[in-house]
Chain A
Amino acid sequence: MGWRLPLRSLWRNRRRTALSLAVIALGTAVSIFVLGFLENSRLQIQDSTVQQYGNLQVASPLLWDDTAEDYEYLISPSDADHVTALLAADATYRGSTRQLQFSGLLGANAQTQAIAVTAIEPANGVLDFAGLAVDGRGLIPSDTASAFVGRSLAKRLSLAVGDVVTMTLATVDGAYNASPFRIVGIYRYSNEQFESQVVFVPLAFGQRLLNTSGVDRLVVALDAVASTEPARSRLVAGLANYGFPLEARTWDELSPFYKQLASYFDALFGFLTLAISVLVFFIILQVLTLAFLERTREIGTLRALGATQGGVFRQFFAESAWLAGLGSLIGAVAGSLLVVAFNSAGILWTPPGTIDPFVLASRVGPSAALPVAVSVVATLLSALYPSTRASRLRVVDALRVD
């Protein structure tokens, strides 16, 4: 009977059809909204993670293994130059900078505090943290014995811009070293722990303190997040060619937090989608079972006129397919409108452990196809049983029903 009978049958009980459509559409819309919200949050966190780590970092495997004794993982200047040259040949390469991290003790105002020193190339344009300054300034190329410290650390030790403090540490050879330096700026960061521990110093100063000409990693910026994996593969191939025992890690490998968060979001969305589709499944199952039951005699008539069981099944299933298609389409539109409305409300939120609030937002992308597909599948699955039952009715019994 093609599309005519199924569509007209849907039209026959408009209230029930509207209810079914509303259930499917609501499920789809909520699912689209939540997916968009999680996706948007993940992207924001992805951006800040890439800002913190760069797209890629190149270092000796020993650095990341935590198995290194002393500083055997350091990369010599000539090796670092080779890597930079290799990187520069890549079309997606936007820049790189070298870092050297070590720990030390900071003494000031008769107090001592363990710190994590990150020696960076000042104003390197890739990852120099200067934009985080809340007092004074970030590091600049003319800086020598200078430091850029976190707000929490400054507060704890009562430090101010212009103060001169002392750093004590062990050099790469294990010798004791100490040096005074001047605080040129105070930064703030979204992470409290980071703020209270990490002290930035110019790379040359850090190398002098540690008595080395090496660096422990290269931080690489690429044109886009999506370029990360391909660029890494090319880089790894290039490194192998040169015979460097160096490893390249991507931003998401470097941030354990991001990975956990992404899989948590996936689980959250998976659970929600499952709950919604189970709900849609049972409601539509109930509605269709009732609707088909009411038409028992009609089914008997169709079969008596020569419609096959398959034909009856197809007709009823087609009816559900219309429901599924229309419902999820309405849901997709409603979900998109919900996203637009929510985003225009501009709700601010400060996550625990962070300092700056950010705008809560959702988004609609190609991934919205997933909730739509899930709704369609849930509806069609719920139609399977009533449609099968309708098609299996014994003709005489069906005809006897009033």
Chain B
Amino acid sequence: MLDYNVFHTIAWPGAYAWYFFVIGISVALFFFSALSWFREEFQPLRKSGFYLSFVLLVVGGLLLISDLSQPMRFLNMINPAYLKFDSPLAWGSLNLITFGIASVVYLFFMNKGDDGLAKKAAVIGALLGLGLPIYTGFDLTVHQHRPVWNTPLMPVLFVALSLLSGAAVASFLAKGNEKLMVMLRRFMLWAGGATAAMLISLLGTTAYGGSAAEITFMFMTSGTMGMIFIGLGMLVGLAAPIALLLAPVGRQPMGVMAAGVLLLVGGMALRYAILIGPQIVHTYY
């Protein structure tokens, strides 16, 4: 029997996942650059990591603006007459801007050779940077009626994903430096393990949630979305690289870089699936 239903579009399209991806990498690379002031192993990433972080920050900002249906009005976000502080998005835009400012200050002192001030700017920048993946997750968490999004796991998950994708990109910048590769491998393993644990508990709680959560579980684990989330995201992009890193070849720079490639594929797939999957059920309501 034919029911009549009006369908609705999903609110946030897949393009937003690219922003999540790019900004996550940018923040992690900044973090590694900042870490170089405290851990000698990260020294090779101080400049190269930071420069790439800065480029990705600019790309991420432009992606975010181009995702608005009124891109030129992005200035409204920093107009004090309009800005509304009970919206998480308002905090996010301020976080992004302050991170950008901290990056410029860091660049300035680093190039001037003022190590003391550069180190301070690095710490402040890293803390502001940490805010960005937290805010990405928070931005999803606050939508109280969306299964998967509305869990306190989201901000932590996005921090872990940011470290994962960032370590993956950093492994290409490391130019085979043994000591750095050892550290990056550790980052990949810890962040990867944390991501896997979070995803498994997320799947469990979603499968046993209310009807909306259950249907979301079905949508996310079957069909094309299932291929992206489970296949590309969890198996190819997370389980496989962790297994690779644990194998003897995973201790070689080439092995770490190969794992990095898989992690990048997985990082993008997971962000896309987590963004889009939980919106599907609502398009039928």
A-B complex is real:
no
Chain B residues near A (Cβ < 8 Å): none
